[in-house]
Chain A
Amino acid sequence: MNAETCERAERLRAEIREFVRTAVPADILRKSSRHLMLDKEEYVRWMRALQSRGWAVAHWPREHGGLAWSAFERFVFEDELGRAGCPWVIPFGVKYVGPVIYTFGTERQRRRFLPPIITAEEWWAQGFSEPGAGSDLAALRTSAVRTGDHYVVNGQKAWTTYAQWADWLFCLVRTSRAERPQSGISFLLIDMRSPGVTVKPVRSMDMCHHVNEVWLQDVHVPVENIVGEEGGGWKLAKFMLVNERTYGSGLGESRFALERLRALPHRQGDAALAQRIVELELRLLALECVSYQSLSDLGTGAETGAEASLLKIRASEMYQDILEATVDALGHAGVAYDPETLHGEGPPPLGPDDAGGILRYHLYSRAATIYGGSTEIQRNIIAKSVLGL
């Protein structure tokens, strides 16, 4: 990366810091930096605050309303937000389905769906996984049968994050039984208000409601809501999963979490903990260097194609380990848990203000090595694509 790129990145970092200081609603930052649960209204305000600078979709091309940011700028952006303890940039619209629509969608689909993604007027959810199709996504069984100008969809989607808030579901469905399971899959946009759509909450072990089952029973979806060709959905899904595993790698969040661990006051002088922190610092340095190196290798021929898998494995495991060490350092405050306090009302039963949030993040972070292609799947990918095993 040349000096100009680096200077631009530094200017962007400064802008983002200024934004965090002055433009992020204080109530939201207060909650997110304590890892408390944000509700839909708060997330929408957050996404709109980002978009007030054009940043929610800054990585989109200009013709579709973005700022044509490079992968590096997007990385810097997410890194800075993470370091500041900002909320999650809800990815379903801006990062996942939006790029699929502007890359593969029709002009009508672009005009219909992109503007409300940009303005956060419509909330999207992802309908990929199913009870029988987790790591083996191509085994999905939700069927879509063409009947006149509709598809009739039947099946069940699993682990659908924030489906309870969603207006739309982008969904992988089976439109034919082909020999290769991948070839019969299509990419459909489903209105969550359609008759036959049922959302059933699934409480996770942090006792919160993030994920859902989405049941689809004779749901009629207009044929114009298919993106790309019938049977061509697998290509779109792969395109999206690559976007999902961007070079972000959650460095900023890990730095934020590790700084929090370092700052826990009552643990000063604990040699065993100090040793753990140093080892975590070392892993974070390695992750940081690999992240920057991957970005620097982009398009130079030094790419292996497996960078995203490596980053995902390392980042998710490290984040879990940082939180685990923090929970350990909290002692009994790391096992006292009152989910009622996770929405911002009142302090946790024991420990510092953010003890409940830290514990919640620890519990929910167990999912980080499972979603978006589990650690085992990522290792399979590297074994196959780089090592030829």
Chain B
Amino acid sequence: MNAAIDTTADETIAVLRDSIERYTAEHYSFEQRWSALRGARGYSERAWADYAEMGWLALRLPEEEGGMAAQAQGIAPLMQAVGARLLLEPILTSAILCTGLVLKRASDAQRAEMLPKLADGSLKLALAHQETASATVTSPVACEYRDGALRGRKLAVLHGDCAVRYIVSAKDATGRVVLCLVDAHPTGLARHSFRLLDGRGAANLELDGAAAQALGAPGPVDADAAALAESFDEAAVALCSEALGAISALNAATNQYLKVRRQFGKPIGANQALQHRMVEMYMLQQEVRALSLAAQRALISPGVERVRIICGARAFTCGAARRVASEAVQMHGGIGITDELDVSHYYRRLMVIGTLFGNRDFHLQRFAAACERDGVGSHESKARC
């Protein structure tokens, strides 16, 4: 329901959606995914190269630089596929969030150097921001950037194990938040890699004088902090789409299972108790879909309702995801808890999604604050349209 989306954009998005669905159906089935998951990297270099080939990694790039200048609505189908097919590659962190930060803040020289490599997949960027285990994104930054060097710790950096370079949030001598670029292997950077619950890699970084450069020229006060905050909103919206993909896939699997699994001489889906629970899962999926779309619109049209809708969508989605995932496992019975079945992989992915870039509690608090501040009754109708 947004005037900014014209029909051409809609058609481009539809074409993109088709190509993503076709490719992932052919090359990224649950069975095909095993080798990537069990491999040393935890993802598929081959698939990553294909994504680059198909232009997915350049989605956000301006058209004159070979991209699609995709906004939230263009990113959504890709993130939905990430969830639906449990893609393991660093799409969110590199192609969406860090590419976004480069576009927002990098100098011309940095752009010229990085954008082509981001598009062709040779540069994997990861966002190093977390400094505690807490599932929030707004805690103060303690990592320091002084005289071209970084000192501090960054935790649970998504895809930090395979990133070639990091965008690190730090504070400069004046206490301002700055974004810095640091390569993965200079002296003064120790990386401790590990796997997340869903099999994707992550790393803790110890920065002890690692040589770094500021992302872009010093901008207006708080330009980097603002860009970072915008990235977190982008992450929230992207994660809603990813969760929607996973929820839809889980619901399709569970719905199907209710029809084929027979006990007591009839399909278990003949039981009204299970039907009504399945309906609940379906309704949650529809709500997540509507909220995701609203959050995408909110992201590109700044207004009073922006935080309320984005954080609300994210908080609701986290809750819905947990409910759907638990129910999917329960209704599948014993097989639902095995590693062999995709259901448990969706369950684990949804746990990770629910924690990255702020969990339900975090977003619910921001949502509550936005409700208080904005006096929701007055203008919500306008924001929906």
Chain A positions near chain B (C-beta within 8 angstroms): 1-3, 5-6, 9-10, 13, 76, 79-80, 83, 255, 259, 274, 278, 281-282, 285-286, 288-290, 292-294, 296, 304, 310, 313-314, 376, 379-380, 382-383, 386-389
Contact = CB atoms under 8 A, between A and B. Distances in A.
Contacts of B282: 382, 386-387
B308 interface: yes
Interface residues of B, number: 38
Given A255-B377, A281-B367, A296 B1 contact: yes
Nearest to B291: A289
B358 interface: no
B385 A9 contact: yes
Interface centre among A3, A383, A389 (most CB of B within 10 A): A389
A34 to B, nearest CB: 18
Contacts of B376: 281
A3 B290 CA distance: 19
B384 interface: yes
Given A286-B291, A293-B289, A6 B368 contact: no
A278 B1 CA distance: 26
Contacts of A388: 255, 259
Given A310-B286, A387-B275, A79 B381 contact: yes
B377 A289 contact: no
Given A274-B368, A389-B275, 5 more contacts: A278-B368, A286-B287, A288-B380, A289-B384, A293-B294
A6 B291 contact: no
Contact of B1 (A259, A274, A292): A292
Nearest to B284: A286
B9 to A, nearest CB: 13
B290 A387 contact: no
Contacts of A289: 287, 290-291, 293-294, 313, 384
A285 B276 contact: no
Contact of A1 (B272, B287, B385): B385
A282 B318 CA distance: 12
Contacts of B381: 9, 13, 76, 79-80
A1 B2 CA distance: 7
3 closest Cβ contacts across the A-B interface?
Answer: A3-B3, A293-B290, A6-B385
A282 B315 contact: yes
B312 A282 contact: yes
A383 B371 contact: no
A389 B294 CA distance: 30
B364 interface: yes
Nearest to A283: B316
B contacts with A: majority SS: helix
7 contacts: A6-B1, A9-B385, A255-B380, A293-B293, A304-B286, A389-B255, A389-B258
Interface in B174-190: none
A15 to B, nearest CB: 14
Nearest to B255: A387
Nearest to A384: B275
Interface string B49-74: 00000000000000000000000000
Nearest to A278: B368
B269 interface: yes
B373 interface: no
Nearest to B364: A278
B118 interface: no
A79 B381 CA distance: 9
A376 B380 CA distance: 31
A296 B367 CA distance: 25
Contacts of B315: 282
Contacts of A83: 377
B382 interface: yes
Nearest to B308: A285
Contact of B290 (A10, A292, A376): A292
Contacts of A376: 276
Contacts of A76: 381
B283 interface: yes
Contact of B269 (A2, A314, A389): A389
A386 B343 CA distance: 21
B385 A281 contact: no
B377 A379 contact: no
A293 B315 CA distance: 19
Contacts of A387: 255, 275, 278-279, 282
B258 A286 contact: no
B385 A292 contact: yes
B309 interface: yes
B100 to A, nearest CB: 24
Contacts of B272: 380, 383
Contact of A382 (B283, B289, B293, B384): B283
Interface in B266-284: 269-270, 272, 275-276, 278-279, 282-283
Contact of B364 (A5, A9, A255, A282): A282
Interface centre among B1, B3, B368, B380 (most CB of A within 10 A): B1
Contact of A278 (B258, B287, B291, B371): B371
A9 B275 CA distance: 38
A376 B282 CA distance: 15
B342 to A, nearest CB: 19
B312 A285 contact: yes
A310 to B, nearest CB: 5
B306 to A, nearest CB: 13
B275 A379 contact: yes
Contacts of A278: 364, 367-368, 371
Nearest to B384: A292
Nearest to B382: A10
A138 B371 CA distance: 46
A383 B287 contact: no
A80 B380 CA distance: 12
B8 to A, nearest CB: 14
Contacts of B279: 379, 382-383, 387
A231 B272 CA distance: 31
Interface centre among A259, A281, A304 (most CB of B within 10 A): A281
A386 B276 CA distance: 12
A292 to B, nearest CB: 5
Nearest to A4: B3
A82 B371 CA distance: 20
Interface centre among A9, A79, A289 (most CB of B within 10 A): A289
A174 B287 CA distance: 40
A380 B278 CA distance: 11
